[in-house]
A = this chain, B = another copy of it.
Amino acid sequence: MQDEGETPGAMEIARDRMMLVHRLKALRRAGARVGFVPTMGALHDGHVSLVDIAASKADFTIASIFVNPRQFAPGEDLATYPRTEDEDCVMLEKAGCNLVYLPAVRDIYRDDCATGLLMGGPAAGLESLARPHFFGGVALVVLKLLNQIQPDFAVFGEKDYQQLLVVRALVRDLDLPVEILAGPTLRAADGLALSSRNAFLSVDERARAPALHEALLHAASMIAGGTMPQEAEDSARARILAAGFSGVDYVAVRRAGDLSGFGDKGVDAPARILAAARLGGVRLIDNVAASALRLPPAPLTH
């Protein structure tokens, strides 16, 4: 039965945990299969595609918007992270989201929180080099949201590939009763991966930004041709800098399954090439799949 005044099919909004818990009880009694897409808002078509995936597989789709203070370090862009709640809700409803959870910070973090997560494995290196607190913060908020919502599955984007693997490790290591699905990266026509932070690019920077993806694709073609990881990484780094990026935090060819590095034998398993680079004041990340089509050449003997 619809509540009075509620439009049939209209997206519900839970502004605090109590509202959420109340709604979830009814859903579980009804045996609904619940899909979940956590976001930090400032939604774009990439997020919408994740909600589409969830809605296609769930009886009831929940999205959350929560800018998690624990995954920002002092000096990072927590205060200026874009917040567009009204527009976000319109996009979510159009995408088939049934309920959006908009918790306050107090719904997520108590002042006396005594529990932290230490993530190793796929969390080591890459994003953690520049942002050592990042994956601990991500894992904690994801774990809390999963426990609050108890969805049957949750969808994460491949755009944040390392985060996807960290979440999968978290779920596997803690035996969480939830399935993690991956949504492919959505890109602008020129190849730039959709990201909330793209809004901060100037016109000139926006024109240069696709070079990140192009450099990764070029590195992937080198790997496919048998080039060793280090050479492909160096080439991509040079291309990114040549396009006018102000710095490259990393370019790394890693095993797609666990982000461990390849040894001297070169790329002998499915790979992912991941990069983070700075364009003016904006830090962009991207990644592409790669695999060696043929064995790497035998080492030269001079």
Question: Which residues of A does B touch, CB under 8 Å?
Answer: 110, 112-123, 139, 143-144, 147-148, 150, 169-170, 172-177, 258
Contacts and interface: CB of A to CB of B under 8 A. Distances in A.
B115 A175 contact: no
A113 B172 CA distance: 8
At the interface, is chain A mostly helix, strand, loop or mixed?
A: mixed
Given A147-B176, A174-B144, A116 B120 contact: yes
Given A113-B173, A114-B119, A147-B177, 8 more contacts: A112-B121, A114-B169, A115-B120, A115-B169, A115-B170, A117-B118, A147-B176, A148-B175
Contacts of A114: 119-123, 169, 173
23 contacts: A110-B172, A112-B258, A113-B121, A113-B173, A114-B119, A114-B122, A114-B169, A114-B173, A115-B117, A115-B118, A115-B120, A115-B121, A115-B139, A115-B169, A115-B170, A115-B173, A115-B174, A116-B118, A116-B120, A118-B118, A144-B174, A147-B175, A147-B176
Contacts of A123: 114
Per assembly, the copies of the chain total: 2
A175 B110 CA distance: 11
Contacts of A119: 114-116
A150 B110 CA distance: 23
Given A144-B175, A177-B147, A117 B120 contact: no
A59 to B, nearest CB: 17
A61 B114 CA distance: 29
